Amino acid sequence: MYALVDCNNFFVSCERAFQPELEGRPVVVLSNNDGCVVARSNESKAMGIKMGTPFFKVKYLVDQGKLVVRSSNYTLYGDLSARVMSLLSEVAPKLEVYSIDEAFMNMDGVPDGDLPGICRDLIVKIRRWTGIPVSIGIAPTKTLGKVANHFAKKYKGYRGVCVIDSYEKMRKALSLTPIGDVWGVGWRGAPKLKAQGVETALDFVSRPSEWVRERMGVTGVRTWSELQGIRMVEEEKEEKRKSICTSRSFASMISDIDELTLRVSDFAGKCAEKLRKDGTAAGTVGIFIHTNRFREDLEQYYPNASIRLDVPANSTPEIVGASLKALRMVYRPGFEYKRAGVIVADIVDAGSIQQTLFGFDSGTRDRDDRISKVMDMVNTSGKNVLRLGTQRGGHYADGIRREFCSGLYTTSWSELIEVR
DNA sequence: TCTGGGGTCCTAGGACCC
DNA sequence: TCTGGGGTCCTAGGACCC
């Protein structure tokens, strides 16, 4: 069986873990730039605030004292996530961390009858040791685990743990699950299915597989099988990422190439760091820039460009250099840019890099690799203390609005000094 | 005034090969 | 005017997830 562990309202719960006075109050956490709502407490959900709502639309509630708001604090969330995951790994024979707030425990080998008890104890322990409330869904497939988890969250009677371990329970659960709530269906898929008379997950599995294949392709059939207890979603192998993206929206619009150069350099430097941390190198470096899609009064332009490297690289000078070359290919003056990003792809293991036939570039490569090594040694705190001349005069997150940020409860003292 | 960020997989269609 | 058949690889874009 799988046990899907999902943290309840994770970002809000992290804020509450260190600010107990927020307990019981309507709370939302905002995205970067304090842009939109990305996490809600049960109380703010009950007020009708939707996921993704732009903050300016609910600001009046904050002004009236009816809603508490926090800027997102990913350092804090990452830290608490690691603590929760480490508690899970003590119990699970195999643990797959699926996202910052979610993990699949593969409980194969543990007697089914023991699972509810183990999970109940785990919930209490996680709450006590980290302050984070979690719910657990137990089922033979991951997709059914998701279904079970929904019930565990929704109905208090389950005390956080819901099990689907029989044909009857499966049918019952599917009949109570709207098709749009099924993992893998999505907001585009649901209306199409409803138009064909499929309202619930049970309606869905009652259709023949060919019917599903025609309308939803092979992924649809996978979901269809999983809902009936047939494992189709594979175990995640511990593989490295195939692409890495660092992108940000700007607090205000930018049209100057020099200013864009600073931002793109920073994003590229961050990508290079992530590559080195993974022990990989990228064969392609791409950038994109975007005008503000919400400003219909302004002309829009959203080009992208990429550079193929002769030899995969992960040094800051090489990645930054390629990104700026790509930027110059597509930059056009006269536009107001709101967002930019760097994507590195065609990722390979750093150890397996083949030199070009004649090795013309090996001189600068060695130098660039040494530069990067030193940068990593100095930049241990995650802040760009040491950086290239083209990189911005600070951390890559400069120019990002964080008006409602709570304290840095779990970050180290040296970081604290730097942030102040 | 103000609207996030980081991933994966699948598919259709074009380019190219014989 | 008429103009094969079959295969692979790559890419962009769509859809989905958190």
pLDDT one digit per residue (tens) for chain A, 420 residues: 999 999 999 999 999 999 999 999 999 999 999 999 999 999 999 999 999 999 999 999 999 999 999 999 999 999 999 999 999 999 999 999 999 999 999 999 999 999 999 999 999 999 999 999 999 999 999 999 999 999 999 999 999 999 999 999 999 999 999 999 999 998 889 999 999 999 999 999 999 999 999 999 999 999 999 999 999 998 877 888 999 999 999 999 999 999 999 999 999 999 999 999 999 999 999 999 999 999 989 999 999 999 999 899 999 999 999 999 999 999 999 999 999 999 999 999 998 876 655 555 556 777 888 887 777 777 765 566 677 776 655 444 456 788 998 876 775 544 433 333
Helix, strand, coil content of chain A in percent (nearest 5): 45, 20, 35
Answer whether any strand C atom is within 7 A of the Cβ of A188. Answer: yes
Answer whether any strand B atom is within 7 A of the Cβ of A1. Answer: no
- Amino acid at residue number A377: M
Which nucleotide does the CA of A292 lie closest to, via C1'? B3
- Alpha helices, H only, A245-361: 257-278, 316-330
Count of residues making up chain A:
420
For A370-384, what is each residue's pLDDT tens digit?
887 777 777 765 566
Residues 298-357 of A with CB under 7 A from strand B: 338-339, 341
Q: CATH fold of A166-238, please?
A: DNA polymerase; domain 1 (1.10.150)
Residues 364-393 of A with CB under 7 A from strand C: none
Cα separation of the two ends of chain A:
48
HSE of A222, CA atoms in CB hemisphere, 13 A: 11
Q: Which class does domain A244-396 fall in? A: alpha beta
Q: Does domain A1-163 have CATH number 3.30.70.270?
A: yes
pTM of the full structure: 0.91
Ranges in chain A annotated CATH 3.30.70.270: 1-163
Ranges in chain A annotated CATH 3.30.1490.100: 244-396
Where does residue A48 fall: left (phi above 0), alpha (psi -120 to 50 degrees), or beta otherwise? Answer: left
Answer whether any strand C atom is within 7 A of the Cβ of A146. Answer: yes
Task: Please give the angle made by the CA atoms of A314, A319 and A321, to the nearest 5 degrees.
Answer: 145
Ranges in chain A annotated CATH 1.10.150.20: 166-238
| Average pLDDT value over all residues in chain A | 90
